[in-house]
Amino acid sequence: MIANPVISESRDISAKNVAAVKKKLGELHIPLLAEEVGEHYPRTVVFDTSSGVMRIITSGREDRML
């Protein structure tokens, strides 16, 4: 999520989390329709269960709706 020069890329938990989620979605035959990953800034995700819309909130950036 946030770059840390003290932590090596081999211990990057964010990249491991993305890979694990993609693997599990594939195993469950759930299609990945969109993603918001990469770069080094924090995000908040709000999922509206009634509409199925995901809102991605990032400080200093426009909200994204997926």
| More confident of the two residues 16 and 49 | 49
pLDDT digits (tens, 9 = 90+) for 40-65: 788 899 999 999 999 999 989 999 99
Give the pTM: 0.63
**First and final C-alpha spacing in the chain:** 19
Residues contacting residue 1 through CB under 8 Å, at least 6 positions apart: 14, 40, 41, 42, 43
Cβ atoms 45, 56 nearer than 8 A? yes
C-alpha of 52 from chain center: 16
Q: What would the two tokens of residue 52 be?
A: 């199925």
Q: Where do we find the tokens 């003290």?
A: 6
